[in-house]
Structure 1
Amino acid sequence: MMLRLQVLALTALLCACSKKQEETPTQGSQAPSTAQQPAKKAVPVGLVIDVGGRGDHSFNDAALRGLELWAAGKRYEGGKYVDAAPDEVRKSLPAHLTTLATSLQALPVQPVVLQSKAQEDYIPNLQLLVDRGAQLTIGNGYMLANAVRTAAQENPQSRFLLIDSQVLDAQGKALKLPNVRTVLFKEHEGSFLVGALAGLVTKTGKVGFVGGIEVPLIQRFEVGYRAGVKTTKPEAAQTLMSVYTGSFNDMAAGKQVAQDLIAKGADVIFHAAGADGIGVIQAVKEARAAGKSVYAIGVDSDQSHVAPDAILTSMLKHSDLAVYQAARDLVDGKFAAEDQLLGLKEHGVGMAEVRVDFPGKAEALQKVEALRQRVVAGEIKVPSVPADLASFQAPAP
């Protein structure tokens, strides 16, 4: 029943998009004046999001922001799209991306989004978007890697974007397909920055990490975080507590493990746990209301709005930018199948603005910024796997 409802909703949306295209005058070879410029045809761009769903304030919402707000200039409200206010894109940009504000122009794209309730939905959802005319189909998350491979091989004339994973063959080895762009991130570099800040902020000398499913991708967050803490507070790195919930859509589990960490003395907790992380933030919010000095560090998107007094900062992963750039390349006729790897230097990851106050804030932020510059310059090689963490030598100030 759920899939049938998705089909009906998607059909209606794409039919409306097609009708709009038919009514749009064809642009001639000579571009008319700005006042007479006809609107370009809106091309459907499909996005399949994972089980965390819309409203996770994190990974899925980042991809949605890149497609809906930045690319289409739309806001999803009350089950439909409305035009975004002129300054909404600018307000959604973190400080280190504000230079892009003038270049992130709304594109003639029609977003079509399907949420997956289970892994069995991945391939049907991707195929549904292709069948209904999506010019670019996006799989958001490493869990869709096999589904994107299948859909891309069965639809060689269609274009795909895979976020957070390479295309893998049946043996788990990287496989290049001529119609798939993949985007990976150096999560460990962004996590290094928030770890360094956590080490500078902690008063108890105890910090924590909450991961979702324990896979190499999420381990990169933990490893980078540990390296950052080791750089600014070596003793806290030795006692750093980490827990994995085993899911990305169980807020109760996230809240429970965070409460346990707080009870053990952790006063800064970084999460990389999808919707489970909302539970982590809630636990920290309640602990602060009870008089404890404790902070949470968000992930993927700036999560400060979820609990303004409880969020120290967030580790940003710009899947929003990757999605926008893919949609732009599609519209410009420049979409190419390639493998991208984005870190601090490429503005693929970063650290959100620190909006809360704490003693020594200005000095702490200066130290973190100095570390960021050294990573970008190649002076600091942040470890990405547990095996490299033991040999990581914290850089001298």
Structure 2
Amino acid sequence: MTFTFKKAAFGGLATIGAVALMAGCASAPEESGGDSGGEALDYLPCMVSDAGGFDDKSFNQLGAEGLDRAADELGVEAKKVESQAETDYASNLQSLVDQGCDTIVTVGFLLAPAALESATANPDLEYVSIDDTVDQDFNGETDAPNIKPIIFDTAQAAFLVGYLSAGVSETGSVGTYGGLNIPTVSIFMDGFAQGVDYYNEENGTDVKVLGWDREAQDGSFTGGFEANDTARQVAQGLIDQNIDILLPVGGPIYQSGAAAIRDSGRDIKLIGVDADVYETDPSVGDLLLTSILKGIDVGVEDAIVSAGNGEFDPSPFVGTLENEGVGVAPFHDFEDAVPADLSSKLDELKQMIIDGDITVESYLAQ
């Protein structure tokens, strides 16, 4: 079977690797405050979280870490406002505008409408949108010239983890569930399922993916991004179907999955998303096979340092395997549980995706 690679929607805009982002971003002024003894930089970077909060051990936390690193590099103080619910988004943004913020970072797909309204009303301010292109009219372009999207084709990394999971599974069933059926969540689930399908095609196996239907583009969802009893019940429903690998997608809902795994008393491996959850939440480290990574912190840091130096660039950044904007975390405690030939195969598949020999379908791979 021949596979072809679909280029990311923004093509050449996704050319800066996550590592290169840090090395290649503009240097802070020599007299920028901090310890330099020079004049303090007159710049206020700000951030609004989504309802998951900055302690979600996931994408909100990564965004905040990137903002804080950029503020330290520039020698300025940053402001962060945490949303408790979707109804807080507009008022939180207005609060930051009123406090004189120069650049406002919005974390998450769900903030896009409020971000667009604020950016349109304040054309002299700069906005950075994590996880959404802010294309509300669906014409393929960001709807305001003062918004920079930072988005990630996580389907590519999830494909590799799906292949890995199919190769490690002993029950022949793996599961996934999400917070809401929105593109930035389902992109993980769909890429994961594609990786399992590819493993089955190559190896003549029939590993099943529960919790996501590629044809229907629908599956198991908790209705939000809270670690609550609903999320636990959804996880338990998959565990009851004999899965032995579980991929929760949606901030802290993985904590409910981890609790359900522990209650089951079974050998079920957990997969993290966004951050290397083994590092951000050691309490579940013994369950984690790996994590599907987004370079959110690096993307935010680069955007804010550039903006603070008067070089704000609204061009979208699209994270891919090629530019290291997405990736797969180490296996940590499960290093010995992954056969060497399977680990080598993942390296081979990664290069095939980068070279264009495998298509990983997603809404960003047009």
Verify: 1:382 aligned to 2:360, yes or no: yes
Distance (Å, rounded) in 2 between the aligned partners of 1:107 and 1:30: 9
Corresponding residue number in structure 1 for 2:317 = 340
**Residue 362 of structure 2 is aligned to residue 371 of structure 1:** no
Q: Tell me which residue corresponds to 1:248.
A: 225
Inter-CA distance 346–40: structure 2 relative to 1 (3 Å threshold) = farther
Q: What does 1:1-397 align with in structure 2 at a 5 Å threshold? A: 38=38, 40-41=40-41, 43-68=43-68, 70-73=69-72, 106-169=73-136, 171-173=137-139, 174-234=141-201, 235-242=205-212, 243-287=220-264, 290=265, 292-304=266-278, 305-357=282-334, 358-384=336-362
1:136 and 1:330 in contact (8 A); partners too:
yes
Q: With the length of structure 2 as denominator, give the TM-score of the two structures.
A: 0.81
Whether the 8 Å CA contact 1:298–1:315 is kept in 2: the answer is: yes
1:73-113: CA deviations, max 9, x gaps?
4xxxxxxxxxxxxxxxxxxxxxxxxxxxxxxxx33232211
The structure with the larger Rg is: 1
Asked if the contact 1:63–1:319 (Cα under 8 Å) also holds between the matched residues in 2, the reply is yes
CA apart distance, 1:284: 2.2
Q: Which runs of 5+ in 2 are unaligned?
A: 1-28, 213-219
Query: Deviation per CA, 1:263-293, whole angstroms, max 9, x where unpaired?
Result: 2110001111222222112222343xx2x21
CA RMSD after TM alignment: 2.4
- The SS at the match of 2:271 is strand
Cα deviation, residue 218, structure 1: 1.8
Structure 1 runs of 4+ with >3 Å offset: 29-32, 171-176, 233-242, 358-361
Q: Distance in 1 between matches of 2:311 and 2:156?
A: 29
Shift of 1:352: 0.8
Residues 367-391 of structure 1 show CA distances to partners (whole Å, capped at 9, x for unaligned) of: 1121112112222111126xx9xxx
Per the TM alignment, residue 114 of structure 1 is displaced from its structure 2 partner at its CA by 0.4
Aligned residues: 319
Letter in 2 for 1:347: E
Once the two structures are superposed, residues 21-57 of structure 1 have per-residue CA deviations (whole angstroms, 9 ceiling, x without a partner) of xxxxxxxx9989xx97636426321100011112111
Q: 1:204 to 1:36 in 2, by over 3 A?
A: closer
Aligned to 1:26: none
Which structure carries more relative contact order (alpha carbon 8 Å, separation 6+)?
2
Identical counterparts, % of pairs? 30
Instruction: Describe the superposition over 1:331-372 as per-residue Cα deviations: whole angstroms up to 9, x where unpaired.
Output: 222112222222111211111111123444332221112111
Q: 1:333 to 1:257 in 2, by over 3 A?
A: same
SS in 2 for 1:350: strand
- CA deviation after TM superposition for structure 1 residue 258, in Å: 1.4
Could you report, residue by residue, the CA deviation over 1:121-172 in whole angstroms, capped at 9, with x for unpaired residues?
A: 1122112112212121011111111111111111111111111112234x45
Any stretches of 5+ residues in structure 1 without a counterpart? 1-28, 74-105, 389-397
Indicate the larger mover: 151-160 or 216-225.
216-225
Partner Cα separation in structure 2 for residue 318 and residue 167 of structure 1: 19
| Partners of 1:256 and 1:30 in 2: CA distance | 54
Q: TM-score, normalised by structure 1?
A: 0.75
Partner secondary structure for residue 343 of structure 2:
helix
1:161 is paired with a residue whose SS is strand
